[in-house]
Amino acid sequence: MTIFCSHCLRPLQAEMSHLPRRGKQAPGASRPFRSTKSASKARRDQINVELQALRSLLPISAQEKERLSYLHTMALVCLQLRGAQLFPPASAPPAGPALGTELLSLLPGFLLVLSASGKLVYISENVAQVLGLSMVELLARGDTVFDILDGGAREEVRKKLLLAREDPGREVTFVSEMCTSKAFRVQHGGNRAVAVRGRFTALHGPACPPPTAFLALCTPVARFPADGDAGSQDDVFQSTHLLDMTFTDVTESVTYHLGYRREQLMGHSWYSLLHPEDTERAAAQHRAV
């Protein structure tokens, strides 16, 4: 069929044959992205490969790596990155022997390292003996110390840490309930009160001013038979007093029970530690003695 121009009546078949045709897209040209099931699976597979690569670099046993979820893997990776920032391998002194499980078991509690903002940097493995939760399980709850504390104590702990950060080297102590496993709560009726005793320390490194980290020992306030031998010296504390019940001496294990250090109690009255409702009965017992 021939088509003629309406003005000059010339056939248009020849002219139309010279019009540029829409060519095919080059093999290497980009196409508009369209999400498909196969593309989503490819992305998930790529993420899995990257997570497996990160998991292989973590300084834990192969058995522990196999049990890590994606959340736990990322929590541990972030912990290692924060540790590398505060303790860069290039500026650190030659490392001594690692704290083994036998040495950690001799401690009355677990070790804790925080950044200046309260981020978790290190938790010793024996934390499971105190809280019933492993380091990995604690990290899954959050990346700051406030995430593993009882909600009512967070503001007070924040003030304590701020006070210690403004005066590096000054030791602070605070007592707070920490998160525990479900089995622990069922057995003992709730979370566990822990006395945290530590200080901010300036770290060696190229940065100026040098970064600081909070180094602390966390000891349980109340001891349970599962924590060690029933006859352990930490199960009780002993104290001596003047006739008015002012402390003249007390054993160091008082920290595990009352949350106070020995030197904090010297010169103070025993009555200052009692609940007001128990004062009258305590005074009667005191007079009887």
In the predicted model, what is the mean pLDDT of residues 258-271?
85
pLDDT for residue 217 is more than 90: yes
- Residue 276: asked if its preceding bond is cis (omega within 30°), the reply is no
Q: Residue 181: CB partners within 8 Å, gap ≥ 6?
A: 131, 132, 133, 137
Q: What mean pLDDT, rounded, does the chain reach?
A: 77
Amino acid 232: pLDDT: 44
Give pLDDT, residue 222. Answer: 76
Per-residue pLDDT of 2-48, as tens digits, reads: 666 665 666 655 555 555 555 555 555 555 555 677 888 888 888 88
Q: Is the pLDDT of residue 129 over 80?
A: yes
Chain Cα centroid distance, residue 286: 45
Higher-confidence position of 223 and 265: 265
Provide the pLDDT for residue 91: 55
Sequence-ordered list of residues with C-beta below 8 angstroms from that of 257, at least 6 positions apart, any chain: 221, 222, 237
Residue 255 CB contacts under 8 Å (≥ 6 apart), including other chains: 173, 195, 197, 219, 261, 262
How far apart are the C-alpha atoms of 205 and 211, rounded to whole Å?
8
- pLDDT at residue number 12: 59
pLDDT at residue 95 in the model: 42
Confidence at residue 89, expressed as pLDDT on a 0 to 100 scale: 66
Q: Confidence class of residue 196 from pLDDT cuts 50, 70 and 90?
A: very high
- Quote the pLDDT of residue 233: 43
Span of 81-90, 192-201, 224-233 with lowest mean pLDDT: 224-233
User: Which comes out higher in pLDDT, residue 183 or 13?
Assistant: 183
pLDDT band at residue 97 under the 50/70/90 scheme: very low
Selected residue with higher pLDDT from 229 and 177 = 177
Residue 169, Ramachandran bin (φ over 0: left; ψ between -120 and 50: alpha; else beta): left
pLDDT of 254 above 80: no
CA distance 247 to 257: 16
pLDDT value at position 231?
39
Asked if residues 211 and 86 have their Cβ atoms less than 8 Å apart, the reply is yes
Question: Which residues neighbour 56 within 8 Å (Cβ) at sequence distance 6 or greater?
Answer: 65
Q: What is the mean pLDDT of residues 90-110?
A: 62
DSSP secondary structure of 36-76: -HHHHHHHHHHHHHHHHHHHHHSSS-HHHHHH--HHHHHHH
List, in order, residues 6 or more apart from 185 with CB less than 8 Å away.
191
Span between the terminal Cα atoms of the chain, in Å: 127
Q: Which is higher by pLDDT, 196 or 7?
A: 196
Q: Which domains does the chain have, with CATH numbers?
A: 104-223 (3.30.450.20), 236-288 (3.30.450.20)
Q: What is the pLDDT of residue 256?
A: 66
